[in-house]
Structure 1
Amino acid sequence: MTTDPNRGIAPVQYGTSTTELVSSQGRTIIADAVVAKIAGIATREISGVFDVGGGTARVVGALRDRIPGARVNHGQGVAVEVGEKQAAIDIGIVAEYGVALHELAAGIRRNVIAAVERMTGLEVTEVNITVYDVVLFDENEQPGETDGRPRVQ
């Protein structure tokens, strides 16, 4: 394993790509926005994730939700660096209260790596997860039954 000169540390190896992105017949370039969208969708699939993104991203997303006909930005809260064969991903989340955060992060990491590697052929070298907040639900509410706002205490 070589050291990544941009990060100063050895990247973690999660798997290998089986699809050639560069061949004698041409080159396939995967845009950062595509990888971010795949990672965002894969993150939202994990139970215990209330929302994706930090404060500013969530405010912008909430404003967008109020606009009729506006679409969800699946790449919200996800930052990626895509090279010719590898990708590094940073994800910010808001978790549901009571979820074991280290297990949630591990589940997100596994799902994101599997989705990105399967769909793009890129090797995912790292998935960094930042938990920005936890949402507490009322006793009578179940996750997914709220209006998108945490309970005020």
Structure 2
Amino acid sequence: MTAASNTLAKDTAPAARTGSPASPAPSDGRGRTAIADQVVGKIAGMAAREVYGVHSFGAGLTRALGAVRDKVPGGRSSGSVTRGVKVEVGEKQTAVDLDLVIEYGVSIADVAAEVRDEVIGAIERMTGLQVVEVNINVVDVHLPDDDEDDEGSGSARVQ
């Protein structure tokens, strides 16, 4: 996370919406709701995946190991939703970092802007948390013939 994410408010900033589920102490005094980092990470991952031009998430080894795990029967887990997604959640605010692989030929700037808008909208709508930043790190570009190389390489060597 960047220096701005270190400013996530614990008690000082107002909630995004009064009486929202993320408010630490509702005015009626019936308790408080805490939202786990994993929950916000899943929301961010799902929202970003809906944007045209996003191929996958994660960098290098994380992406490769996740792809192998996804191909094993029964190996697909909810971890694939949060692969390449890091979040920091305070009581009223959150910050998100995304590692994206973008499809070749699309505008990286346009995809990043749309991902940012979708992630902010989904998190704020579903949690009531204020999103202070969404940092996007484009780690790779997916080329059209990458899929062909992945499928053909194993069968060509082993018969």
TM-score calculated relative to the size of structure 1: 0.79
Question: Does the 8 Å CA contact 2:51/2:114 hold for their aligned counterparts?
Answer: yes
Structure 1 residues 61 and 119, CA gap change in structure 2 (3 angstroms): same
**Which protein is bigger by CA-based radius of gyration?**
2
Question: Does the 8 Å CA contact 2:40/2:87 hold for their aligned counterparts?
Answer: yes
Which residue number in structure 2 is paired with residue 98 of structure 1?
105
Long gaps (5+) in structure 1: 8-14
Structure 1 residues 147 and 69, CA gap change in structure 2 (3 angstroms): farther
Query: Quick one: distance in 2 between partners of 1:35 and 1:130?
Result: 18
Long gaps (5+) in structure 2: 8-14, 154-159
Question: Does the 8 Å CA contact 1:137/1:151 hold for their aligned counterparts?
Answer: no
| Mapped pair 1:137 → 2:144 | yes
Q: What's the C-alpha RMSD, in Å, of the aligned pairs?
A: 2.8
Which stretches of structure 1, 4 residues or longer, exceed 4 Å deviation after superposition?
A: 146-152
TM-score calculated relative to the size of structure 2: 0.76
Question: Does the 8 Å CA contact 1:135/1:150 hold for their aligned counterparts?
Answer: no
| Mapped pair 1:120 → 2:137 | no
1:39 maps to amino acid: A
Which residue number in structure 2 is paired with residue 89 of structure 1?
96
C-alpha displacement at 1:71, in angstroms?
2.4
Structure 1 residues 128 and 17, CA gap change in structure 2 (3 angstroms): farther
C-alpha displacement at 1:60, in angstroms?
2.0
Q: Secondary structure in 1 aligned to 2:6? A: coil
Which residue number in structure 2 is paired with residue 6 of structure 1?
6
Give the number of equivalent residue pairs: 137
Query: Quick one: distance in 2 between partners of 1:5 and 1:64?
Result: 31
Question: Does the 8 Å CA contact 1:94/1:132 hold for their aligned counterparts?
Answer: yes
Query: Quick one: distance in 1 between partners of 2:149 and 2:124?
Result: 31
Pick one of 53, 57, 64 that aligns with 1:48. Answer: 53
CA distances 1:123-147 after superposition (whole Å, capped 9, x unpaired): 1010000000101114xx9xxxx47
C-alpha displacement at 1:5, in angstroms?
8.5
Q: Secondary structure in 2 aligned to 1:133? A: strand
1:99 maps to amino acid: V
Query: Quick one: distance in 2 between partners of 1:97 and 1:131?
Result: 12
- Specify which structure has the higher proportion of helix: 2
Which residue number in structure 2 is paired with residue 16 of structure 1?
16
